[in-house]
Structure 1
């Protein structure tokens, strides 16, 4: 049975708004939360980017829902030892209801310390080694490690959960899906790609959860909703590897000038037709996702939660 969670977009909302959304999500019947981990927003119009680990601490005192990072990059901006400590503490605060979603990251967030931004093959190798280091630390043993990318000396996690948090790996192509199958406890993707999900499961990922996510804009005025998405999240429609290689919000703003309102209207569920929202979410269910996270773009949070509580989630749950 697929679970439906709410996606907290740190790029768009203040800490107080995110906590309010989490409370509303639990009241509306969402059973899980996901939260983004960014240093920068994708563009200046989004305008926020609080530290995810502070937000998770606050969420642990606000709601009783499980929380997953979608996704953390544990390789460049944060060393895997520090990421492991943050994840272990988060899991303790959430009484074990925490999952660490990881990925190879974006230059937008990871170049800020002046480090070189590596090609994908190097980033994948770094992620594999980082996950290995974090799993060792989650045991509570004293860890020393010397690998091609990371050195760890006499590190031990003293605050940690009884059961290590699951590590779900994000991937948007066959090689990334293979990496997720090899090193992950689950697989994360942001499109209802049944072929990739089937490849993941047939290559050894059977029995591991698949997590998907999408953004919508509930608004009684569909044209206004399209305008809102086009203004705040045009980056969702940028093709290829641009999301991984562009280094600043200003670069994303320049690239997003190529995204049209028509593309937004055709790709993102906008407006107040429940069937359009149900159809978009159901595509992830039919592709094979075990958890689907939905995020509302723009200020219409109250209407989104009211209508998902009364119309969308009941229809999805009864399908």
Structure 2
């Protein structure tokens, strides 16, 4: 059965609000929660970007049932993989085994801030592969010294390590990345409802029954469709660029310029907007049909977030689970 999750969208809400939304989402019946891990919002209008790992630590203490995950963390530029290994182990302990470490090759928007530049995509994938290997080594609990092409670890050990380890999901986008990262991952993360991609990953990973295929779908519930479309355009027009564009733009100003000619109707073509719960649920169906086991919803914008969680989420989940 498909599991449905809630996205803690750090780009559009402050840290205290995110924790309260996490609690409300658990109470509404969501199965899991994922958090973005950003240094900057996509657009200035979103206006937020608290530190995801502090938020997740608080959420782990404020919730009891939902699984938690990063969606996704780049472990290679802004963070050193040894630090990611440590904080992922800590999150697994705090959440009592509810955490999945979601990893990806990152976006310029978040990684350029540390002044290390923005490598070409092949180099980013090389770095991600090496980072995952380091994290896996450190999660054995052994003393690790590593001298690689991109990273060094000097006598590193994770002292507080969960017995069950930390499952890793890796974001993939095509055959090349599947061949490379499926053998290194426990779970698949991807943005497109492509059944062939899912099948290819399962074959390459030799994935067992417990392996998850995790996706994300933005929706914009609002009291009327006009408000929903306007809010989605204001907050989420960056989505229209696609990941090849989104990975390389460096600043919210760049995203604003790149989406200057994106119209509200353009956004509404890719994001279900308004009060029709059947329409919102149907927008998720392609991911279900493609074989995704876990689908996280993004309720776009902070404006209606509380109302969405207290009034809309429960009946929407009922519709989704009946599909």
With normalisation by structure 2, the TM-score equals 0.95
Match of 1:72 in 2: 73
d(CA) in 2 for partners of 1:229 and 1:176?
Answer: 30
Indicate whether 1:15 and 2:32 are aligned.
Answer: no
Match of 1:270 in 2: 273
How far the C-alpha of 1:191 sits from its partner, in A, is: 2.5
How far the C-alpha of 1:303 sits from its partner, in A, is: 3.2
How far the C-alpha of 1:2 sits from its partner, in A, is: 1.0
Cα deviation per residue 1:105-127 (whole Å; 9 max; x = unaligned)? 01111111111211111111111
How far the C-alpha of 1:221 sits from its partner, in A, is: 1.2
Match of 2:24 in 1: 24
How far the C-alpha of 1:310 sits from its partner, in A, is: 4.0
d(CA) in 1 for partners of 2:78 and 2:70?
Answer: 16
Mark the runs of 5 or more structure 2 residues left unpaired by the alignment.
none
How far the C-alpha of 1:158 sits from its partner, in A, is: 0.4
Matches within 5 A, 1:164-179: 164-179=165-180
Q: Is the 8 A contact 1:191 1:214 kept in 2?
A: no
d(CA) in 2 for partners of 1:142 and 1:204?
Answer: 28
How far the C-alpha of 1:316 sits from its partner, in A, is: 2.0
Matches within 5 A, 1:190-201: 190-201=191-202
Indicate whether 1:6 and 2:6 are aligned.
Answer: yes
Match of 1:121 in 2: 122
How far the C-alpha of 1:273 sits from its partner, in A, is: 0.6
Mark the runs of 5 or more structure 1 residues left unpaired by the alignment.
none
d(CA) in 2 for partners of 1:205 and 1:100?
Answer: 19
How far the C-alpha of 1:307 sits from its partner, in A, is: 4.7
Match of 2:304 in 1: 300
Matches within 5 A, 1:23-172: 23-64=23-64, 65-172=66-173
How far the C-alpha of 1:165 sits from its partner, in A, is: 0.8
Matches within 5 A, 1:275-290: 275-290=278-293
d(CA) in 1 for partners of 2:226 and 2:312?
Answer: 20
Q: Is the 8 A contact 1:218 1:303 kept in 2?
A: no
Among candidates 305, 308, 318, match of residue 314 of structure 1: 318
With over 3 angstroms needed to count, the CA separation of the structure-2 counterparts of 1:228 and 1:128, relative to structure 1, is same
How far the C-alpha of 1:177 sits from its partner, in A, is: 2.7
Among candidates 244, 250, 256, match of residue 253 of structure 1: 256
Secondary structure class of the residue paired with 2:272: coil
d(CA) in 1 for partners of 2:238 and 2:206?
Answer: 30
Q: Is the 8 A contact 1:168 1:180 kept in 2?
A: no
Cα deviation per residue 1:195-254 (whole Å; 9 max; x = unaligned)? 221221233354321000011110121011111011111111113511111111110110
Matches within 5 A, 1:235-250: 235-239=238-242, 241-250=244-253
Indicate whether 1:229 and 2:232 are aligned.
Answer: yes
How many residues are paired up? 319
Q: Is the 8 A contact 1:85 1:157 kept in 2?
A: yes
Cα deviation per residue 1:157-176 (whole Å; 9 max; x = unaligned)? 10111111111000222222
d(CA) in 2 for partners of 1:67 and 1:21?
Answer: 13
Secondary structure class of the residue paired with 1:315: helix
d(CA) in 1 for partners of 2:233 and 2:20?
Answer: 24
Cα deviation per residue 1:123-158 (whole Å; 9 max; x = unaligned)? 111111100000111111100011111111100010
- Aligned-residue CA RMSD in angstroms? 1.3
With over 3 angstroms needed to count, the CA separation of the structure-2 counterparts of 1:248 and 1:24, relative to structure 1, is same
